[in-house]
């Protein structure tokens, strides 16, 4: 695995702070529909499924997934639509009523702060802000090319009354603003009833299994080789996919392919993850606390992140993470790929862990060091 040295300029480019987020209030075709006209859409990593050419994207570089956000005042609705790839909601603030089904009446569940929900592909879904204040949902979408979305038939029909149309290649046409429908592509038409009738059904109890609430999380304090060493005593809770756990007994809440994996990392003050690297793209997002992320083994560069800040770490870059706040903090980790993320630890970390009696076996999981076969002379 070749090592990628990250410069200060590159780290700055890959750091996206809460103050860097730029909203778009005309990202979707329902932007003039009463009750949905106060939505704000954000695209931090990749364009996501925005339908507006005016959407600001903080970092367009392909990661294997897209990360964005939806911000909505109390009482505002995100109308029914379906996705071709995974859509994961990360509720960082507020309270939302999630509903799904062709008419939005197949089931309902409430998302609160700290909840993560993976919504199945090819079902209609929508949500309302039922909390007392503005709500904030981060979203992680599967793959670089999402294919856009299909809106519920009534959403498209109502939008026409406000002068908005959508092309088959996912471009928003605003006739009120003077746009003319393009001649080279057809406009989207409402989904046929027979196609809607063939969509899968999800009972409430099945959908509940795709939501990871704080009380559902299974934390492991020995999920990482560095956890046996001072400064590396972070805990890991898997949400989607097996990700980078080295605890052979740990299993994720949701395990079907998403094109990415998601886990919570938490650490007490001064603790985190010691120096390591892996071959996937990675985005670290701060839920609470203050975190220092350091890249490279030599000529180190560092950044401090606060709540809602995020940083994109390139493949194969050496990195370490440390909670520098005065309280236990939580960090969300998103890695690309559907398989396990195999970590390579810095030689000094691996040696210190071995001295403490722990190593990784040939399957990449923690085991007693003295029971792991080694080449002669080691």
> pLDDT tens-digit profile of 235-289?
999 999 999 999 999 999 999 999 999 999 999 999 999 999 999 999 999 999 9
**103 contact partners, CB below 8 Å, separation of at least 6:** 80
State the Cα–Cα distance between residues 219 and 158, nearest whole angstrom.
46
**pLDDT reading at 187 higher than 70:** yes
- pLDDT above 90: percentage of residues in the chain: 74
State the pLDDT confidence band at 375, using cuts at 50, 70 and 90: confident
DSSP state, 254? B
**pLDDT reading at 170 higher than 80:** no
State the pLDDT confidence band at 106, using cuts at 50, 70 and 90: very high
Least confident of 110-119, 137-146, 169-178, 293-302: 169-178
State the pLDDT confidence band at 302, using cuts at 50, 70 and 90: very high
Mean per-residue pLDDT of the chain:
92
**pLDDT reading at 27 higher than 70:** no
3-state SS, residue 176: coil
Q: What is the pLDDT of residue 29?
A: 67
Cα dist from 164 to 79, 152, 177, 181, 360, whole Å: 15, 15, 9, 10, 57
* Dihedral angle computed from the Cα positions of residues 225, 336, 70 and 255, in that order, rounded to the nearest 10 degrees: -80
**pLDDT reading at 94 higher than 80:** yes
Phi, psi of 184 (to 5 degrees): -95, 0
Higher pLDDT, 55 or 212: 212
**pLDDT reading at 333 higher than 70:** yes
3-state SS, residue 206: helix
Domains of the chain: 20-212 (2.60.120.10), 218-371 (2.60.120.10)
DSSP state, 167? B
Q: What is the pLDDT of residue 3?
A: 64
pTM assigned to the model:
0.93
pLDDT digits (tens, 9 = 90+) for 42-73: 999 999 888 777 889 999 999 999 999 988 88
Q: What is the pLDDT of residue 373?
A: 94
**pLDDT reading at 165 higher than 90:** no
Tokens 């990593």, residue located: 45
Higher pLDDT, 71 or 157: 71
Q: What is the pLDDT of residue 268?
A: 98
State the pLDDT confidence band at 188, using cuts at 50, 70 and 90: confident
* Dihedral angle computed from the Cα positions of residues 147, 213, 336 and 82, in that order, rounded to the nearest 10 degrees: -10
Find out whether 199 and 123 touch, Cβ atoms under 8 Å. yes
State the pLDDT confidence band at 1, using cuts at 50, 70 and 90: low
Q: What is the pLDDT of residue 208?
A: 97
């Amino acid at each position: 695995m070749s090592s990628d040295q990250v410069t200060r300029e590159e780290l700055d480019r890959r750091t996206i702070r809460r103050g860097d987020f730029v909203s778009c209030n005309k990202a979707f075709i329902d932007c003039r529909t009463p009750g949905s006209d106060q939505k704000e859409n954000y695209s931090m990593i990749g364009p996501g499924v925005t339908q507006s050419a005016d959407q600001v994207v903080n970092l367009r570089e392909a990661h294997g997934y897209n990360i964005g956000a939806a911000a909505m005042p109390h009482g505002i609705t995100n109308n029914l639509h379906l996705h071709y790839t995974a859509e994961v909601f990360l509720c960082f603030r507020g309270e939302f009523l999630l509903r799904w089904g062709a008419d939005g009446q197949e089931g309902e569940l409430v998302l609160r702060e700290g909840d993560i929900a993976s919504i199945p592909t090819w079902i209609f879904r929508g949500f309302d802000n039922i909390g007392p204040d503005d709500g904030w949902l981060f979203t992680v979408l599967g793959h670089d090319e999402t294919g856009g979305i299909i809106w519920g038939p009534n959403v498209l029909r109502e939008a026409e009354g406000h002068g908005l149309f959508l092309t088959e290649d996912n471009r928003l046409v605003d006739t009120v603003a003077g746009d003319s429908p393009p001649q080279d592509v057809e406009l989207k038409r409402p989904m046929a009833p027979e196609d809607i009738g063939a969509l899968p059904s999800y009972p409430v109890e099945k959908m509940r299994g795709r939501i990871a609430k704080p009380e559902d999380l299974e934390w492991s304090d020995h999920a990482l080789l560095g956890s046996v060493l001072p400064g590396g005593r972070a805990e890991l809770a898997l949400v989607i996919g097996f990700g980078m756990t080295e605890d052979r007994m740990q299993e994720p809440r949701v395990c079907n392919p998403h094109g990415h994996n998601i886990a919570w990392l938490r650490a007490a003050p001064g603790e985190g993850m010691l120096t390591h690297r892996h071959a996937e793209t990675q985005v670290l997002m701060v839920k609470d606390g203050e975190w220092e992320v350091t890249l490279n083994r030599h000529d180190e560069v560092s950044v401090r992140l606060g709540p809602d800040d995020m940083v994109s770490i390139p493949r194969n870059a050496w990195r370490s993470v440390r909670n520098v706040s005065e309280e236990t903090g939580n960090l969300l980790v998103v890695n690309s790929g559907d398989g396990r993320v195999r970590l390579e630890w810095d030689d000094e970390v691996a040696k210190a862990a071995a001295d403490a009696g722990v190593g990784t076996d040939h399957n990449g999981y923690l085991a007693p060091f003295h029971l792991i076969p080694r080449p002669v002379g080691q």
